[in-house]
């Protein structure tokens, strides 16, 4: 890479990512003592696989990558359709099984591809100026392409990932210069839709999750069990934790699934508030730096990609930590770079690669009025 590109690159994002990955590995090593550290070993492999993707994405100009996003969209949509016909795991048809021990989650790949493609669409719709997105027919075109993958992900059902898409899209539209009247209309529509969805659309298990979120004592040995154990674990950790590999809820098997959804609870129990507070700070840095890259990108399309990625990280950070401490419903959303998972790790590394790519080619933000 040219020296100028390396000089402009937002290296702090790479440092934050490395720190989160290391923290995740420490937590996974402790959480997998009862399984001879199998998931920890797999996570090392996934990280090794993800690094070449990171380097490749950094190397190729992001405008070239975005040009192929339409092709990626045409590939990922059939994958999202096909996964609906696979065998359900944990109540959702979200994974393709490859061999005995490897699974592929197409909705994770879709996060990157859909953000890239929607950025491409937004840019095309605004060739005559940023205000063009406020034309209703152009907004409808964007909405159709955005709604299709979200609908397919809801059908799995995977409400957490679908919500991540919605947040990312909201971030992108906000930056695109959408008129306030559409924002107000969307808020009113959501307010009207929530009771309708709750009473007539959501399946029983989703409604039960909401009820248990509002009152965990409603089913303390069933749907409310995991959140109770998570809160007990984090509370027991207090300031400095119970000690690495010494957490009662973690080591005695009360936390489930402790390597994915509740990895933050493992850290809170064994390393305490000092460690969990540090993790929160790292995510705040990651998200604010992503927003800064969106602000300083050399073109609109780079801004849209960066802010979309910021939206993904923001939702995962808020939802995962929020659900482990009882502030948000449990949705099975992993904590980026910390939770165990191959598809999510590769996707997150690609997102970091795109942020570094955009930052390395940035200059003073340029917006077409």
Residue 360: predicted pLDDT: 92
Pair 249, 233: CB distance under 8 Å: yes
Q: What CA–CA distance (Å, rounded) separates 362 from 4?
A: 10
Rounded to a whole number of angstroms, the distance between the first and last alpha carbons of the chain is: 33
Taking the CA of residue 210 as centre, how many other CA atoms within 13 Å lie in the half-sphere pointing to its CB?
Answer: 12
Q: Which residues pair with 92 in a beta bridge?
A: 89
The token pair that represents 288 in the structure block: 């604010």
Q: What CA–CA distance (Å, rounded) separates 211 from 190?
A: 20
Residue 180: predicted pLDDT: 85
Kindly state whether residue 261 falls inside one of the protein's structural domains.
yes
Residue 30: predicted pLDDT: 95
Residue 1: predicted pLDDT: 59
Q: What CA–CA distance (Å, rounded) separates 57 from 356?
A: 9
Q: Which residues pair with 104 in a beta bridge?
A: 96
Kindly state whether residue 75 falls inside one of the protein's structural domains.
no
Kindly state whether residue 59 falls inside one of the protein's structural domains.
yes
Kindly state whether residue 295 falls inside one of the protein's structural domains.
yes
Pair 350, 58: CB distance under 8 Å: no
Residue 365: predicted pLDDT: 42
Q: Which domain holds residue 239?
A: 3-67+107-360
Question: C-alpha 95: how far from its chain's center?
Answer: 17
User: What's the whole-model pTM score?
Assistant: 0.93
Residue 258: predicted pLDDT: 92
Residue 367: predicted pLDDT: 41
Residues contacting 259, CB < 8 A, separation 6+:
28, 31, 32, 39, 339, 340
Q: What CA–CA distance (Å, rounded) separates 354 from 12?
A: 14
Residue 140 Cα distances to 31, 44, 111, 147, 150, angstroms: 46, 43, 20, 10, 15
Kindly state whether residue 57 falls inside one of the protein's structural domains.
yes
Residue 150: predicted pLDDT: 95
Strands (E), 141-204: none
Best CA proximity match to 166, nearest among 319, 270, 294: 319
**C-beta atoms surrounding 199 within 10 Å:** 9
Per-residue pLDDT tens over the stretch 26-57: 999 999 998 889 999 999 999 999 999 999 99
Q: What CA–CA distance (Å, rounded) separates 226 from 21?
A: 25
How many residues are there in the chain?
A: 369
The token pair that represents 267 in the structure block: 């850290």
Best CA proximity match to 15, nearest among 320, 364, 319, 337: 337
The helix (run of H) or strand (run of E) holding residue 96 is strand 96-98
Kindly state whether residue 127 falls inside one of the protein's structural domains.
yes
* Strand, helix or coil for residue 82: helix
Kindly state whether residue 282 falls inside one of the protein's structural domains.
yes
Kindly state whether residue 332 falls inside one of the protein's structural domains.
yes
Low pLDDT (below 50) residues in the chain: 364-369
Upstream peptide bond of 124 is cis (omega within 30 degrees of 0): no
Pair 206, 194: CB distance under 8 Å: no
What is the number of structural domains in the chain?
1
Three-class HEC string of 222-239 = CCCHHHHHHHHHHHHHCC
Residue 63 Cα distances to 101, 118, 204, 289, 327, angstroms: 36, 13, 44, 20, 39
């Amino acid at each position: 890479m040219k020296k100028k590109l390396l000089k402009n690159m937002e290296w702090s994002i790479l440092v934050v990512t490395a720190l989160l990955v290391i923290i995740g590995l420490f937590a996974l090593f402790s959480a997998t003592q009862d399984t001879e550290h199998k998931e920890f070993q797999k996570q090392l492999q996934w990280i090794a696989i993800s690094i070449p993707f990171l380097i490749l994405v950094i190397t190729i100009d992001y405008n070239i990558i975005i040009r192929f996003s339409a092709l990626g969209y045409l590939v990922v949509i059939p994958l999202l359709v096909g996964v609906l016909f696979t065998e359900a795991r944990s109540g959702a048809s979200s994974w393709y099984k490859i061999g005995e021990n490897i699974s592929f989650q197409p909705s994770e790949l879709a996060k990157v591809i859909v953000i890239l493609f929607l950025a491409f669409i937004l840019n095309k719709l605004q060739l005559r100026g940023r205000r063009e997105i406020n034309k209703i027919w152009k907004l409808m075109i964007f909405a159709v392409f955005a709604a299709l993958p979200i609908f397919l992900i809801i059908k799995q059902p995977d409400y957490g990932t679908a919500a991540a898409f919605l947040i990312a899209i909201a971030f992108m539209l906000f930056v695109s210069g959408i008129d306030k009247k559409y924002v107000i209309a969307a808020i009113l529509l959501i307010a009207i839709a929530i009771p309708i969805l709750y009473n007539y659309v959501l399946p029983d298990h989703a409604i039960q999750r909401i009820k248990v979120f509002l009152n965990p004592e409603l089913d303390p040995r069933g749907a409310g069990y995991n959140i109770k154990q998570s809160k007990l674990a984090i509370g027991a950790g207090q300031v400095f934790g119970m000690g690495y590999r010494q957490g009662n809820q973690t080591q005695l098997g009360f936390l489930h699934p402790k390597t994915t959804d509740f990895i933050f609870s493992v850290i809170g129990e064994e390393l305490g508030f000092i460690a969990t507070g540090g993790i929160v700070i790292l995510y705040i840095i990651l998200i604010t730096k992503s927003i800064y890259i969106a602000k300083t990108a050399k073109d609109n399309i780079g801004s849209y990609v960066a802010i979309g990625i910021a939206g993904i990280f923001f939702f995962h950070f808020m939802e995962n930590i929020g659900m482990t401490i009882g502030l948000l419903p449990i949705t099975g959303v992993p904590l980026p770079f910390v939770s165990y998972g191959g598809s999510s790790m590769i996707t997150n590394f690609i997102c970091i690669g795109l942020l570094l790519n955009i930052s390395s080619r940035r200059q003073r933000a340029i917006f077409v009025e």
